[in-house]
Amino acid sequence: MIKNDRNYFSIDSKRLIVICKRTILLLFFTVVQYLSAQQLRVTTVEPPNWWTGMKLNTIQLMVYGENLKNLKATSSSSDIKIVRIHQPENTSYAFIDVEISPSAKPADYKITLASKQGTTSLKFPVIKRKKSQDEHQGFNSSDVIYLITPDRFANGDTTNDRVAGMPDAVNRSERSGRHGGDIQGIIDHLDYLRDLGITTIWINPLVENNMDRVTYHGYAATDLYAIDRRFGSNELYAQLVSESHKRGLKVIIDHVNNHIGTNHRWIQNLPTVDWLNGTTVNHQRSFHSKPELDDIHSDSLTKQKATNGWFSNHMADLNQKNPFVANYLTQNMIWWIEFSGIDGIREDTYPYIDPQFRETWCKTIMNEYPRFNIVGEVWVQDPAFIAPYQRGSYIPRTIKPELPAVTDFGLYDAFLKTFVDSTGSIWNVFNTLAKDFLYPEPNNLVTFLDNHDITRVMYSLKGDSKKLKLALTTLLTTRGIPQLLYATEIGMKGGKDDGTLRSDFPGGFPNDQRNAFTESGRTAEENDIFNFTRQLLKIRSTYKSLQTGTFIHFKPVNEVYAYFRTAQSERVMVIINHNAEKQTIDLSPFTHQLQGSMLLRNAMTGNEIILSGNNNVELDGMTGGIFEIVR
């Protein structure tokens, strides 16, 4: 029994030693893991770089990582000065203000962070500016903008149709799904756009939208510094801009300050408690109404719902009153401008953005890029409510407006009432343009018949190509910066819902049965509309008066509307016959504008009319005439 007991204790002792060793190892690794978990760690720095010679040379770095508390920061060079460290309650973030010396050389500068949790360093590249005359050109009334929904334009790289970690993959049978269009597809068709007569392309947002579904439109960003991989890459976007510039085309970025997608990494770990207006579970919805923002009788809470309400439950409203949010958004926009070389911005949902922030944002960008232009989306049809948003507005505001250009939904509404309504009158266009005294720069309004958010004009016209041509003639010869939605030049009808409104361009995708980018791939009607549109664009590019000239119009008589465009010695007369029947137009009411002229030359046909005592012009029903006035 004693022997057996000794064996028992001998075996038990061995087991005990093994258990002790394991316990010590477990404690060791636990301590190591604990200490490691407490270590100072940096995973992301935004902006990822900056440039030499920028006017904005004090940058606020958003540092993301772990245990970012009680930090001290030092720079490896006197060219990068640490101004201040801001440390929110959330220790996953730190904000570091750095000043870049005007004499700083391009280099990878080292910034060291230290605390009781350890030491780490981060690389901050400062890059030499390109300063090319081809970049940051702005856009103006000499341009014609072509609006592209990239997912629906052309698929130039099928390898990015499905991307790991991005659940919303290509499914062309789903109207609200992704269809595969991308940046390469746009690059492949830049020559088509140039030959059509387009000068500027506006592309719906391309930054990452890694939401679970309906991601193709691009307006719910989940990473503000990265192009969505299903569209391409940051480098490919910069190549698109470069290739466009080589062809004399400008590029407008579609940008959103107002909101982000709820799958953005911030949502699960907000940098500050007031980073958003509300939370994912407790927020107010925007009522999508703008007149109340300028209505002097409007309730203050009503106004607040417009600026602080969420655009949708999946689009979180950013709080631009938070100075860290404001700095982040401003720097992000300047980073994209400098990185890519783009020429302008279309800013989404402009009235919903905090007023003080949006005007400071505009002013900062325009100060950095004086040739630039920014158009704000102000979706309201009354010019009296649109005009206060434009820089130099005559209408008093508490906060001085700094936005150069505005979307002209007022004229869009007039076009709709004129050409779409069965009893519509051309007086709608005349009356709207007669209110241009409200605008400090009416020529810096972006005009349109439709866009990616509203029913296509050809659908509204029930396929009436004659009315479409007359509407296009009016759009491309009146004042402002005209914009065409992709495939308008082939008379695309689309449908009522967003998915069919933004239909695929025929021939832009694998296995398409025809290619409407080519003459042979278009129907007879499509070629007729295409050729007419291209001729109109050619005429517009020929006459500076149609681009930048003064605008003088006469009140319509019997649905005939006449106006004149003048630039120095060049003069053009446009007559719009908004009647179903042919009209003989007496030119005597326009004698003052025609005084001293010898003849009229029809810009569409080349035919000439010699001016004498009594002169008339004949126009078929629902057509327009563009006449060069020859002295």
Residue 393 and residue 440 in contact, taking contact as beta carbons nearer than 8 Å: yes
Q: Which of 78, 105, 127 is the endpoint of a domain?
A: 127
User: Are 54 and 108 in the same domain?
Assistant: yes
In tens, the pLDDT along 124-152 reads 999 999 888 899 999 999 999 999 999 99
Tell which phi-psi region holds residue 549, choosing left (phi > 0), alpha (psi between -120 and 50) or beta: beta
Domain-embedded: residue 447: no
pLDDT of residue 304: 77
pLDDT of residue 30: 44
Please, what's the largest Cα pairwise distance for the chain? Answer: 141
Q: Is the pLDDT of residue 316 over 80?
A: yes
Domain-embedded: residue 340: no
Residue of higher predicted confidence among 288 and 249: 249
Work out the percent of the chain whose per-residue pLDDT is above 90: 86
Q: For this structure, is 348 an active site residue?
A: yes
Residue 311 and residue 278 in contact, taking contact as beta carbons nearer than 8 Å: no
CA atoms within 13 A on the CB side of 268: 4
Nearest-CA neighbor of 624 among 578, 566, 557?
Answer: 578
pLDDT of residue 16: 61
Place of tokens 């709820």: 262
pTM above 0.85, yes or no: yes
pLDDT of residue 173: 95
Nearest-CA neighbor of 516 among 536, 473, 486, 496?
Answer: 486
The mean pLDDT of 392-409, rounded to a whole number, is 95
Domain-embedded: residue 99: yes
Q: Which of 79, 112, 127 is the endpoint of a domain?
A: 127
In tens, the pLDDT along 558-573 reads 999 999 999 999 999 9
Single-letter code of the amino acid located at 438 = L
Residue of higher predicted confidence among 374 and 7: 374
Q: How confident is the model at residue 296 (pLDDT cuts 50, 70, 90)?
A: confident
pLDDT of residue 285: 82
Paired residues of 531 in beta bridges: none
Residue 413 and residue 420 in contact, taking contact as beta carbons nearer than 8 Å: no
Parent domain of 9: 1-37
What's 62-75 look like in SS3?
EEEEECCCCCEEEE
Number of domains in the chain: 3
Report CA-CA distances (Å) from 10 to 3, 7, 17, 20, 597.
10, 5, 11, 15, 122
User: Are 33 and 46 in the same domain?
Assistant: no
Q: Is the pLDDT of residue 1 over 80?
A: no
pLDDT of residue 305: 74
In tens, the pLDDT along 91-137 reads 999 999 999 999 999 999 999 999 999 999 999 999 999 888 899 99
pLDDT of residue 287: 66
Q: Is the pLDDT of residue 286 over 80?
A: no
Quote the CA–CA distance of 290 and 307 in Å, as a whole number: 10
Within a 10 A sphere around the Cβ of 46, how many other Cβ atoms? 17
CA atoms within 13 A on the CB side of 149: 26
Q: Is the pLDDT of residue 375 over 80?
A: yes
Domain-embedded: residue 83: yes
Within a 10 A sphere around the Cβ of 301, how many other Cβ atoms? 9
Q: Is the pLDDT of residue 393 over 50?
A: yes
pLDDT averaged over every residue in the chain: 93
Which CATH number is 49's domain given?
A: 2.60.40.10
User: Are 614 and 587 in the same domain?
Assistant: yes
Residue 104 and residue 92 in contact, taking contact as beta carbons nearer than 8 Å: no
pLDDT of residue 533: 98
Annotated active-site residue in 208, 377, 450, 489: 377
User: Are 613 and 561 in the same domain?
Assistant: yes
Place of tokens 């004086």: 370
The mean pLDDT of 228-250, rounded to a whole number, is 98
Paired residues of 120 in beta bridges: 113
The mean pLDDT of 235-259, rounded to a whole number, is 98
The mean pLDDT of 368-382, rounded to a whole number, is 97
Quote the CA–CA distance of 10 and 534 in Å, as a whole number: 98
Quote the CA–CA distance of 259 and 277 in Å, as a whole number: 10
In tens, the pLDDT along 136-192 reads 999 999 999 999 999 999 999 999 999 999 999 999 999 999 999 999 999 999 999
pLDDT of residue 585: 97
User: Are 620 and 602 in the same domain?
Assistant: yes
Quote the CA–CA distance of 73 and 336 in Å, as a whole number: 27
Quote the CA–CA distance of 138 and 144 in Å, as a whole number: 12
Contacts of 16 (CB under 8 A, 6+ apart): none
In tens, the pLDDT along 15-50 reads 666 565 665 555 444 433 443 457 999 999 999 999
pLDDT of residue 10: 54
Domain-embedded: residue 438: no
Contacts of 389 (CB under 8 A, 6+ apart): 350, 351, 376, 378, 401, 403, 406
User: Are 59 and 119 in the same domain?
Assistant: yes
Residue of higher predicted confidence among 288 and 389: 389
Annotated active-site residue in 182, 348, 354, 504: 348
Place of tokens 């856009």: 139
Domain-embedded: residue 109: yes
What's 552-592 look like in SS3?
EEEEEECCEEEEEEEECCEEEEEEEECCCCCEEEECHHHHH
In tens, the pLDDT along 533-542 reads 999 999 999 9
Contacts of 317 (CB under 8 A, 6+ apart): 258, 259, 276, 277, 278, 283, 286, 308, 309, 310, 311, 352
Q: How confident is the model at residue 309 (pLDDT cuts 50, 70, 90)?
A: confident
3-state SS class at 18: helix
pLDDT of residue 333: 98
Report CA-CA distances (Å) from 29 to 21, 96, 372.
12, 34, 57
User: Are 59 and 78 in the same domain?
Assistant: yes
- Here the tokens at position 22 are 């394991």
pLDDT of residue 432: 98
Which CATH number is 618's domain given?
A: 2.60.40.1180
pLDDT of residue 607: 95
User: Are 26 and 82 in the same domain?
Assistant: no
Quote the CA–CA distance of 340 and 494 in Å, as a whole number: 32
User: Are 31 and 48 in the same domain?
Assistant: no
Contacts of 590 (CB under 8 A, 6+ apart): 554, 562, 564, 573
pLDDT of residue 612: 83
pLDDT of residue 13: 63
Instruction: Order across the sheet with 41-46: list the strands.
Output: 41-46, 58-66, 93-100, 80-86
pLDDT of residue 596: 87
Domain-embedded: residue 108: yes
Quote the CA–CA distance of 555 and 36 in Å, as a whole number: 78
User: Are 55 and 93 in the same domain?
Assistant: yes
Q: What is the DSSP letter of 443?
A: G
Domain-embedded: residue 93: yes
